[in-house]
Each structure stands twice: as structure tokens, then as C-alpha cells.
Amino acid sequence: MTGVVYWGVNNIFEVQTNAGPLECRLKGKVLKGVEESYNPLSPGDRVEVEPDLGHPGKGMILSRLERRNSYSRWNKKRQCPQTLAANLDLLVLVTSPDSPPFRPRFLDRALVMAQREGLATLILVNKCDQKLSEDAEDRLATYQDLDWDVHLCSAVTGQGIDELREHLDGLTCALVGQSGVGKSSLMNALHQGSRQRVGELSAKYNRGNHTTNFSLLEPWPSGEGGIIDTPGVRELEVYGVEPPQLAFLYPEFQPYLGQCAFSVCTHIREPGCAVLKALEAGDIHPDRWDNYQKLYLELQEAARWT
């Protein structure tokens, strides 16, 4: 039978099947259909399972079914990708106005990774009880102009939470963002009781570690889709993108690509560059371009060593 992974800690996975939840281990050391990575399975993954007839509620995971998409981060310590969530209908990038400070550079990077996976993305500004700076308002307006949805809410005051729940209900979505922006608080505001569940799981399987350092899917009451809370990320390294590909992941660059004087153009300093012309004309936000060129150089630097 098949099922959906809800969470996994220390190689124990909860898989929801038509016949109820199963606490599973992997059959064999390497899972069928899985490339080498930090974690073979993440919440949202669909798997083939075999219930253990001698132990009701337990089972084995035989293979991972093909992923529709996934959202990963680069694990610096282990130097490999770490999947945070799989098979998403929507990526929810959570940010906050003031504590931690609004960081558009983080959002730009997260958006590049989302574009690379072709993920629909919602930018969620939590803690809207805090004041947004003019700069932040300006950047958010730019994201909206580029057709990304921006929603304001507060997990503490409850503002905007009902609308958010209505919008997300039935979808599989992941909350991704820096530590402290309020992902776990949002999860709890959207689903009463989820915090308690994280606490219980941590106590039982995670050696009593109470900070969320694993992803967890909380299904909607209908059973259709759910929300995946992910561990906080301090820095976001873009990976798996060749420098020349980067411009294609910036939607506002699209009308100008192919129109530069040089057929091979980095859009950083070349004369006759159509992207630079658009930047000068004010048709591309200077911060967005600045982050592009920083990221380009960073990717180039990384490529030199591979």
C-alpha cells in the first residue's frame, strides 16, 4: 500500500495510509528510488509501505514514489542538499517586519530556489503587529508587481489568520523562513494543538530536544493536504544553479534576455546589456539586481572549485 510521510526523526517515520498511521522504519540501508542525500525522505513524500502483521501500527517503507517537486536547502556541514518538504502545492515564505529584521536578500534567494523548482510561492509577513519600514513596504510592493502573492498576518493577535487558513486549506504547503519569524506559532494558530504534538514527538523520538529541528506535516481536518513546519534556516545558499541560468530565475529579467549586445552576457557590466538598461530606466528594482549580481559571483566562485 502507499502512504504519505508526516514526519521522520532518527530514521523512524510516521506514514499516513488509508488504513491509518503506521510507524515505519526503512527496509534496507538504501531506499529504492532515492539518490544519496542528507535525508532520504521528508514530510509530503509518498511511499510504498508494508504493514508488519505481527505488530499492529508498525511497518516498513519499501520505496519512495516519484516526487512532483521538493524544497531543499544546502546542508553546509554535510555538503549535500537536505530536503525540507516534498510534493508541495504552495511554498509559504515566512518573514517578519522587525524581529528578526526583514531581510529581502533572504527572500530573493529563497525565491530563486522556488523558481528553480517551479513552485508557486506566497510571501507571508507574520508579526504584522510590528511596524514595517518604508524599505520593507517598497520591497513587498515590488514582489507583488512581479506577481508573487503577499499576505500580512499575526500568529499572536490572530489578524489575517482566518483568511490564510481559508486560502491554504486542502493544499500541501510548507512554511519556510529564518528562525524566529514565527513558523511554529503560525502552525499552531492554523491548527490548534500542533505545538503540543511537536513537543510530544521531540520528547519521545528526538532525545528531548525541543527546538524544531525536523519538518512535520500537520494534515488539514479534511485529510486533504496539510501544512509542513520546517526548521529555521539562518543562511540560505543557492545551489544547483549554473551562473548563466540565474537570470532565467528572475522573472523581471525575462523581457530583456536575448536582447543584450553580446550573446553571452552576465548582465553585470557588459556594454549594450538590455538588463542594465532596464535597471537604469528604473524598470528593475536596484536591490533585486544587486542581489542578482552578488549571487552570480558567488555561484561563479563555487563553480570554480567543482
Ligand X SMILES: Nc1nc2c(ncn2[C@@H]2O[C@H](COP(=O)(O)OP(=O)(O)O)[C@@H](O)[C@H]2O)c(=O)[nH]1
Binding site for ligand X (CB under 6 A): 126-127, 129-130, 154-156, 179-185, 212, 232
Question: Which x/- pattern, by CB under 5 A, does the window 247-266 give for Zn ion?
Answer: -------------x----x-
- Whichever of 155 and 284 has its CB closer to Zn ion, that residue is 284
CA atoms within 13 A on the CB side of 163: 9
Type of residue found at 100: P
- Whichever of 113 and 155 has its CB closer to ligand X, that residue is 155
- Within 124-183, the residues that bind Mg ion by CB under 5 A are 183
- The one of ligand X, Mg ion, Zn ion, none whose footprint includes residue 267, by CB under 5 to 8 A per kind, is Zn ion
- Whichever of 217 and 241 has its CB closer to Mg ion, that residue is 217
Query: CB count, 10 Å around CB of 94?
Result: 25
Shortest Å, Cβ 142 to ligand X: 23
Among 83, 87, 121, 212, binds Mg ion (CB under 5 A): 212
- Within 273-292, the residues that bind Zn ion by CB under 5 A are 273, 275
Tell me if 185 contacts Mg ion by CB under 5 A.
no
Q: Which residues bind Zn ion (CB under 5 A)?
A: 260, 265, 267, 273, 275
Q: Which residues bind Mg ion (CB under 5 A)?
A: 183-184, 212
